[in-house]
Structure 1
């Protein structure tokens, strides 16, 4: 059975959307559909129930999902075993946000490739808020993510760097900016009238909710969106005041289009690092990546 087809099926099983799967895997929608159809022909029954509105796993599809995960893991282990003596070979599945892929991860992967050139990194990108769930479900070996407030028992977390949360506003003149500057000049912020753009889920949202609760503030939420990068983009368009880790703001191509908003009661900081299942760290491949990351950011320990 084609391991690439298994990977395509697992991606569809995760998104339950052919278009999003095609975008993630850099394939056409028709190619994704053909891969699923071939698998269903091999299995002899439908793996997915699909119509114009939704896609759902059939009972056989749920069972096949477990089989596909085990099969890909076995394949990776076999590749490692058949690799040249004394050299690691195989594949590590890594999940991260776009920002993390070209900032935090860049020096880690450069060092990793120098030491383990026969190991392939299969990278998936998306909202970092999904990182922990993808690791827990076995979809990826390692994720770059913010440390959750409650770390699951099965999960190991390697801190790499700290990044404070920051409020920020549009840099160009607009109603939102004018309102923030007026509030700042008066040494107060009326959060009930300032439109806020916040994450729809994840640790940042949880920390922000706690911060507002501690301050006794009932904010005016203009929009809840997926991904810190999307928040920076919306703020740059003058749609509201946003919140994101400083790392994301500084790394954004829109950095010059937004400006930090200082607040009297400081926001909490974030610990950004790698997450992996403890049992997966027994894999020499995953352990090697983990060790290289710790060596690349030695201050994290």
Structure 2
């Protein structure tokens, strides 16, 4: 096995699509298929379960994925140590965050980071904040930016950046009589409000906990992935939502939104950086960590 093959294997675990993985690795589809097949032959197991329609990691593949990430981390570390001549840092740093975080927190961090470390290339992935911590935990990303969940794996470390309140938002103009322009006054009123909620993650947990404490069974109109999508649906007059203030501050639809001054307030987000504790031994990760 060599690092190139392991990188190709990990590309396939991310995409679960041979065509997309081959494009990401800049190799032909046939070369990727041959290399994965040879890897499986060396190991004596099937790493993927595949048919004409889908590719899925096998149970053995999930175990090997952990090994591959740890091996590449160690390989990159020893390369840097052997090649270290005291010159400025260079290499690639992978970061995962939501679009909102990239426009706010990451933007400020990169403005401070880039002048001091021009030799470090940033590989940025954006998506649902729910995936940020798992991607840091598995080593798929060097650093993730997300909200602190309250409890954290012992292998991860968190560094706070900002505190963002959670806000109830409604359309700026009342289109539906069930969608209030002022906070509902009682349980009965709340139960009639169509709610746009997150599919999962910390935001959904805190929203559900708030309604439970208020003894309200919410009327769920829609469940969406991503906080930006909640703002979009609320701006269209489809319901009331809950989003972090940082999302609303960076939304192009903020003018079409009304903030409801709801009491009691939801617990605010502590947003910051996550990485594996052992990753701080990586000079590139340590350099970015030190910027905050």
Q: TM-score, normalised by structure 2?
A: 0.85
Distance 1:40 1:225, change over 3 A: same
Distance 1:224 1:42 in 2: 43
| Residue range with higher mean Cα deviation, 36-45 or 251-260 | 36-45
What are the residue-to-residue correspondences of 1:1-301 with 2, within 5 Å?
6-7=6-7, 9-14=9-14, 17-18=16-17, 22=20, 27=23, 36-43=32-39, 45=41, 47-51=47-51, 54-58=54-58, 61-62=61-62, 64-81=64-81, 82=83, 84-175=85-176, 178-181=177-180, 184=182, 187-188=185-186, 190-293=189-292
Q: Give the equivalent residue in structure 2 for 1:299.
A: none
Distance 1:104 1:272 in 2: 9
Distance 1:84 1:125, change over 3 A: farther
SS in 1 for 2:180: helix
User: How many pairs align?
Assistant: 286
Distance 1:181 1:242 in 2: 12
Distance 2:184 2:139 in 1: 51
Structure 1 gaps, min length 5: 294-301
Distance 1:10 1:96, change over 3 A: same
| Residue range with higher mean Cα deviation, 46-55 or 207-216 | 46-55
Deviation, structure 1 residue 64? 4.3
Decide whether the 8 Å contact of 2:17 with 2:54 is kept in 1.
no
Q: Residues 222-243 of structure 1: CA distance to partner in whole angstroms, max 9, x if unpaired?
A: 1222111111122222221111
Q: Residues 211-267 of structure 1: CA distance to partner in whole angstroms, max 9, x if unpaired?
A: 111111111111222111111122222221111101001101221222212213222
Deviation, structure 1 residue 271? 0.4
Structure 2 gaps, min length 5: none
Q: TM-score, normalised by structure 1?
A: 0.83
